[in-house]
Chains A and B, each alone.
Chain A
Amino acid sequence: MSRRAETLLALAGAALVVGLAYAVPWLRFVLTIALAKGLAVLGILLLLRAGQVSFGHALYLALAAYAVAFGTAVVPEALLLVPAAGLLAGLVGLVIGLFVVRYREIFFGMLNLALSMVFYSVLEKFYAITHGADGIRLGPVTFLGLPLAGETAEWTVLGLALVLVLGFGALVRVALASPWGEALAGIKTRETRLDFMGVSPRRVLLIAYVASAVMAGCGGALIALTTRHVTPALAYWTTSGELVFIAILGGAGSVLGPFLGAAAYELTRVYAAALVANAWQAVLGIVLLCVIVFAPGGLWGLIARRRRAA
C-alpha cells in the first residue's frame, strides 16, 4: 500500500480514537491501554520481520512501568518519566540484546521468555521494595508542571500515547523501507546472504531488538500512567504472550497492524467480559482461531486484500 494511503489511514485511525474517547468516556482508558500495547507490539513487529518471535517483551513493559512507578517519587514530571523509562528499557535491551541476537527462532524466543520470568521473580521476591504481587501505586504525576488528575489526566495520557504511536509508527515505516529494513527481512529469508554482502546480521537484529525494547518501554510507561498501579503480572509470560497474540491478530504486513490488533484485542476483551463474565477467554480464543483460519495475514491482511481487490 502506498505511503500516502497508510498515512491517511493512520490519521483517520487517530481521529477515530479521539472521537470514540470523546463519545464514550469509559473507552478512553481501554483505548489508551490498547495504544500502549500496540506500541510494544510495533517493536515485536520489527523482530517478526526478521522471522524472530520474542516471548519475553513483557520484561521491558514491566521494567518501564516500575521505573515510572518508582520515578514518580523522585521526578513527578510525565514528560521526563516516559523518555527516561524508554531509555532505561533500551539500555537493558542493549545488554540483553548482545546475548540473545546470537540465537534464532525457538532459542531466541525461549531466552527472552526466561529473562522476563527472571524479572518477574525479582519483582515478587524483593518483596520489601516492590510489595510483591500487591504491586505499587504511582505517586502524583505532573505534566509540564501541572498536576495530572481526573479527566484531564485521561486526555493527557491518551494524547501522549497518540503522539508516541504516530511518531514511532512513522519512524518504523521509514526504517522498514530503508536498506536496514531490507536487511532485517533478509535475516528471515536467508541470513548467509547478508554475511556475503558484508552486512552483519547480528548488528541488524541488535538494532531492531533495542528499538523494540524502547518501544515496549514507552508502552509500559503509558500503561503505568494509565492504570496508576503496577503489579508483577506485567512481567509474567502471559503478558508477553498477549503481545504476540496481538501481533498475529493485527498482522505483520504494516505498521498499522499492531494498533489494529491491539484495539481489536482490548475491545473484544472488554465486550466479551461484559457479555459473558465467566467465559470471555473462550470468546477471545475463538476470535484468534477465526483470524488464523480465515485471515492468516491478520486484520491488516483483510483490509489490504480488500483494497487490492478494489
Chain B
Amino acid sequence: MKDCDATRMSLTRRAALGTIGVGGLALSGRLAQAQGAKPQEIKVGIATYLSGPASVFGVPGRQTAEMLFDEINAAGGIAGIKVRPIFVDEGPGVDHVVGEYRRLVQNEGVHLVFAAISSADCLACAPLADELKRPTLLWDCGTQRIFEDNRYSYAFRTQANATPEILAALLYLLKVKPDFKSIAVINQDYAWGRDSWDIFRTALNTLKPGVKVAAELFPRFGATDFSTEVTRVLALRPDVVLSTSWGGDLDALIRQSSDRKLFERATFVMPLAESSLQRVGKALPAGHIVGARGDHWFLHPSPADPERLKRFTESYRSRFNAYPIYPCFHMAQAVSAMKAGIEKAVAAKGGGWPTDAELAAAFKGLEFPSPTASVRIREDGQGLENQLIGTTLHSDRYPFPVLTDMVVFPAESVTTPVGQKSADWLKTLSPEMVAKLPQALAFR
C-alpha cells in the first residue's frame, strides 16, 4: 500500500510542481519508505530558530546538530545507516512550523523530527506526532504543560522542563542565601516569563513563606532599555532579583544593571544566564546565581565521562569558535537519544529496521548518555535531566565569568512525579529538602 503511495507521490509531485510553475525548485525527497524496510539514509527534520531573537539558541542548536551528524556519519552512521538533518525555521510562527512538520513527514519522509525551541511549537507538534505517527523528540522547549496535560505515544522529551529548571535555582538560592527577606522579579512579558515566575513564586511560598515580593516587573519582550526597571529596583532595595530572561533582553539587563551598580545591592538569580555569559563577559560581576536549563556547563565539576565532555567542548570550540551553551547540550541530548533509540529498536528486531511505532516505543524508558551525565525518558515521555546551578566567579583563564560552588541536583529530586501537575506538586514540597541538597563543588 505504502509503495503504491510512493509511486503516486513521485509522479504527481513532479506534475504538481510543473503546474505551479516552480519546477526549478524541485525538492530533493525520498519516496515514502515501506514500513520495516531498511532505509538508504536516516532523515531527521529539525525545527529550530534560524531567524528572530531566539536564533541565539537556534543557531548554536543547528551548529551542534551539523557537527554531531557529521561525527556520526564519520563513524559509519547509526546501525550502519548514514544520518541527514533537514532544518526548518521556527521564526515565522506556529502555522508555518505546523505546515513544515507536515511537509517533513509527508514529503521529505523523515524518520524522526526534533521539535522545537518554542513551547507553542512543541504544544502544536506533539499532537501532530501522534496524528501522523512519526517519532518526535522535543529537544529544547520549556513548558511543563505538554506531558502534564496530555499523553502522547510518539512525542518524547529529551530534556527537563520549566519546573525542575526553576525549582533548582530557588533551592540553590535558599541554600546559599537562606535569610533573604524580599525579592523583585524582572521577566520578559510573554508566556515563559509569566510561567517561570509562577513556578518560582509557588515554590517560594511553600519552602519559605513570608518573603516580600517587592516588585513584579514584566518589561516588553525584546526590550532594549531597562532604566525604569533598574531605577525601581534600586529604590525598592530587594535582597534578591530574579530574572528568567534570555538573549538580547538579558544581555541588556545585565549591562545596564552593571553600569548602575545594581549587582552590588542585590543578589541576582538568572536561571538562563549561562547562555549569555560569553556575550556579556565580565560586565556580570562575581557572586550571582546562574543556571543553564539542565546540567549544562562545559566545566561541569563531575561529568559522568570527562573525556566525552572534553571532546564535545573542544570540537564545538574548534569548529565554531565559542564554548557550547545549553541549546548545544540539548541538541546533543536529542542526537544521543536518537542514536540510542534507533539502536535499541534495531536490536529488538534482531537487526531489522523498525516500523515507526516500534521506533517510538523504543524511546519509552530509554536511558541515553548526555555530554555531562545521562538522561532517562520516563513512561509519560518526560526526560529526567539533572540540573546544575552555580555562582559566578571571575577567573583569569576565561574572558567571561565562570561558575563556582556548583550544585548538581539529581533529576528525580526536582522533577514533578508522573501523573502530577507542577502547580499542585510544588505546594507539597517541604523545607527539609533544602538541607538534603548535594554538596556544592568549587571551580577548579
Contacts and interface: CB of A to CB of B under 8 A. Distances in A.
Interface string B167-211: 000000000000000000000011110110000000000000000
Given A132-B191, A228-B127, A26 B102 contact: yes
Interface stretch (B19-27, B72-80, B239-247, B328-336): B19-27
B25 A275 contact: yes
Given A30-B99, A33-B99, A270-B100, A134 B145 contact: yes
B301 to A, nearest CB: 34
A231 B93 contact: yes
B20 A267 contact: yes
A16 interface: yes
A275 B107 contact: no
Contacts of B310: none
A233 interface: yes
Interface in A19-58: 20, 23-27, 29-30, 33
Interface stretch (B8-16, B152-160, B292-300): B8-16
B102 A29 contact: yes
Contacts of A231: 93-94, 120
Interface in B215-254: 221
B117 to A, nearest CB: 13
B103 interface: yes
Contacts of B105: 26
A134 B143 CA distance: 8
> How many residues of A sit at the interface, in one of the four size bands?
35 or more
A110 B124 CA distance: 32
A26 B103 contact: yes
A65 B255 CA distance: 40
Nearest to A32: B99
A133 B52 CA distance: 15
Contacts of A27: 16
Nearest to A284: B92
B407 to A, nearest CB: 29
A20 B51 contact: no
Contacts of A33: 95, 99
Which residue, of A124, A133, A226, has the highest number of chain B Cβ atoms within 10 A? A133
B371 to A, nearest CB: 25
B312 interface: no
28 contacts: A16-B19, A20-B16, A20-B19, A23-B15, A25-B9, A26-B99, A26-B102, A26-B103, A26-B106, A30-B103, A132-B194, A133-B119, A133-B191, A133-B192, A134-B120, A134-B195, A135-B94, A135-B124, A149-B131, A227-B124, A229-B124, A231-B93, A231-B94, A231-B120, A271-B27, A273-B88, A278-B87, A278-B89
Interface of A: 16, 20, 23-27, 29-30, 33, 124-125, 127, 131-135, 137, 149-150, 223, 226-231, 233, 267-271, 273-275, 277-278, 280-281
Listed from nearest, the 8 A-B pairs whose CB atoms lie closest are A23-B12, A26-B106, A229-B124, A132-B191, A134-B191, A133-B191, A278-B50, A133-B190
Given A26-B106, A280-B89, 14 more contacts: A23-B8, A25-B106, A27-B16, A132-B190, A132-B191, A133-B190, A133-B191, A135-B123, A226-B95, A229-B124, A233-B94, A271-B22, A277-B50, A278-B87
